[in-house]
A and B are shown apart, each in its own frame.
Chain A
Amino acid sequence: MTDPHLPPPLPPMPGAPQAHRAVDPGAPLIRLQCQWCQSMNEPGALACRTCGAPLDVKDMVSDSGWREAPRIKDMTEIHFGASTCQVEGEIVPVAEINLGQGDSVFFEHHVLLWKDDTTAMSVLPLTGGVKRALAGMPFIISVAHGPGRVAFSRDATGELVVLPLHPGQELDVREHAFLLCSHTVQYTFLRIKGLRNILFGGNGMFMDRFIASGTQGLLLLHGYGNVFERTLRPGESIQVEPGAFLYKDASVTMDVESIKLTSGLFGGTSMNLARMTGPGRVGIQSMYVHHSTE
């Protein structure tokens, strides 16, 4: 019997992986679909093999339609390529990567927590270095190559958001919010359009863009506080504190709008909110980076 409180099952994403274990062709096909990333998992699995979300709990959806990013259990293991990622800790979680031969991950160097002495490092070739430097984006993106172990964390209480990128998916991420990404994902950045969006949007001049072109990839973000996701229908919009924006599908547009607030003789101020318009996913963090609206 279907629980009326549960949201309807999400349609499978294009390219979402199927159950990995071979099953008896004569037996009925039972697969567990992850409610976070829609990947299929073998029967009996406790956590999603692709994103680590617990499979045995109800999807936490608020009345207003926000889904909480799944609380990944301590020591959960996630698989990508020939590598694994183990999520350790809960208050400031650590992503510990065991890189297989031929695999690599790229990251901003300040999130590196520790690594094996033997894990090889290099630098990701980037275009637009001067623009990045002027915009306050990291000038160098580092790459760690397998085999070997390397671990990452950020410097504040929050949640680790695991976003498997299926082929064809494009995701825009707030600058400095990405923790690491697998080498199969293409990394670029896009300039935020409009002077108002740059000055009052709270996201700087650029956003990171991650594109999974040929094969599936893995992207890990660190959101401050709790992380919530909502899927907007075509044309549906929502206004978000700019500092709370964490990620969005490339199909979602973002425009900053001002609300004028007055206080009599003492003038007033304006409150800037980012209007996000669907279709697509929007992710926010509850401990936002507050930008002065004075």
Chain B
Amino acid sequence: MNLDQPSRTYTCSWCGLTSSGTDLSCSACGAEVDVRAVVSRSGWTVLPGRRDMAKLQFGQSFCQIEGTYVPVADMNLAASDSVYFTHHVLLWKDPAVAVTSMGLKGAWKRMLAGMPLIMTQAAGPGHIAFSRDLPGELIALPLQHGQTIDVREHLFMVATNAVTYDWFASNIWFSTKEGDETETHYPLGMFLDRFTAQGVPGLLLLHAGGNVFVRTLEAHQTILVKPTAFLFKDTSVQMRLHIEKPAGTWRSWRSWGDRYFWLRLHGPGRVAVQSAFEPMEDNGRTLVDHSGATHRQW
């Protein structure tokens, strides 16, 4: 018998990390060990609960998740580790932890799109903590070497420096017109964030409103989600705008009021949604153009 081998192995239902399962929570994402994955009949998996004060490890550093309504990510950074974040999520820090700005490409486009212009980074050693100003869940996404994930803008909280940050046009839009005025709407925002673990595994933390649900789509399987409820997806998942409306009424033909705008997600890959999301307001104007949407009348 090899005493170096653990007597049992446990695979985390959230992030897939294999461990001995002797801890109370997964060391990579904080999900509780030894709980059944909660899957709805339609196939959505609920983000597994985290024990208060659950501790994650990345590199030589640790992240403790504190609180349940508006959780705090309290990081104990080792001297060799650093993280980056948008500056408005910083809750507190040791005075010794240095905070500097991180260069971003495409500042002009980011400014036009309302995305944060400045990304900040903090280097160890020392403690630094982050939270957002919305009740919800903190999502830990350990990224394995080469793994990439696309995230809706303004959901990103903090990432380790092993994870590279990039962004790309969402290409989900539609235009409405009234008189001579044409307005373009971006239900997902103009851009999506893209995070990739280069070289070594990394950790990405997001904050979602309400509860979080994740689902893996088979190849060619599609699902419609509210654009503002969308959280993140694997890069293999394709997106398209979808419009539904009732047939045969003047209002449904002309105005937004009776139209339903959806985000159509095509598998294969993981997709995630949040239960608290902003409503899309009705401006009641004529739809004149869109990003290649599919249609359905009923």
Contacts and interface: CB of A to CB of B under 8 A. Distances in A.
B71 A286 contact: yes
A96 interface: no
Contacts of B266: none
Contacts of A237: 95
A64 B76 contact: yes
Contact of B131 (A60, A62, A288): A288
B119 to A, nearest CB: 9
A4 B74 CA distance: 22
B72 interface: yes
A225 interface: yes
B70 A287 contact: yes
A239 B67 contact: no
B76 A290 contact: no
Contacts, number: 124
Interface string A109-127: 0000000000000000000
A157 interface: yes
A137 B19 CA distance: 54
Interface in B110-150: 111, 117-118, 120, 127, 129, 131-135
Interface stretch (A10-18, A26-34, A265-273): A265-273
Nearest to B135: A157
A288 B91 CA distance: 8
A91 B69 CA distance: 8
Interface in A218-276: 224-226, 228, 237-241, 243-244, 259, 261-266, 268-269, 271, 273, 275
Contact of B74 (A62, A244, A271): A62
B104 interface: yes
A293 B90 CA distance: 12
Interface residues of B, number: 40
Contacts of B68: 226
A174 to B, nearest CB: 15
Given A261-B120, A263-B117, A286 B127 contact: no
Contacts of B93: 238-239, 273
A24 interface: no
Contacts of B133: 224-225, 243, 287-290
Contact of A64 (B87, B108, B129): B129
Nearest to B52: A60
Contacts of A266: 107-108, 111, 117
Interface residues of A, number: 40
B246 to A, nearest CB: 36
Given A60-B52, A265-B107, A271-B99, A226 B74 contact: no
A228 to B, nearest CB: 7
Given A62-B53, A63-B62, A287-B133, A68 B92 contact: no
A287 B101 contact: no
A269 B70 contact: no
Contacts of A259: 99
A123 B111 CA distance: 49
A240 B92 CA distance: 4
Contacts of A244: 91-92, 131
B282 interface: no
A240 B87 contact: no
A238 B96 CA distance: 9
Given A62-B53, A263-B104, A226 B66 contact: yes
B67 A263 contact: no
Contact of A287 (B52, B66, B131): B131
B212 to A, nearest CB: 16
B220 interface: no
A240 B129 CA distance: 9
Contacts of A62: 53, 64, 66, 74
Contacts of A77: none
Contacts of A273: 90, 92-93
A271 B92 contact: no
Residue of B67, B76, B87, B129 with most partner-chain A CB within 10 A: B67
Contacts of B87: 261, 269, 271, 293
A68 B67 CA distance: 7
A238 B69 contact: no
Interface in B66-110: 66-72, 74, 76, 87-88, 90-95, 99-101, 103-104, 107-108
Contacts of A217: none
A173 B70 CA distance: 21
A269 B93 CA distance: 19
Contacts of B66: 60, 62, 66, 68, 226, 228, 286
Given A60-B52, A286-B131, A288-B131, 19 more contacts: A62-B66, A63-B55, A63-B76, A64-B127, A68-B66, A68-B67, A224-B133, A239-B94, A264-B103, A266-B107, A269-B87, A284-B91, A286-B70, A286-B71, A287-B69, A287-B132, A287-B134, A289-B133, A290-B88
Interface of A: 60, 62-64, 66, 68, 91, 157-159, 224-226, 228, 237-241, 243-244, 259, 261-266, 268-269, 271, 273, 275, 284, 286-290, 293
9 contacts: A225-B133, A225-B135, A239-B93, A268-B101, A269-B117, A286-B70, A286-B71, A286-B91, A287-B132
Interface of B: 52-53, 55, 62, 64, 66-72, 74, 76, 87-88, 90-95, 99-101, 103-104, 107-108, 111, 117-118, 120, 127, 129, 131-135
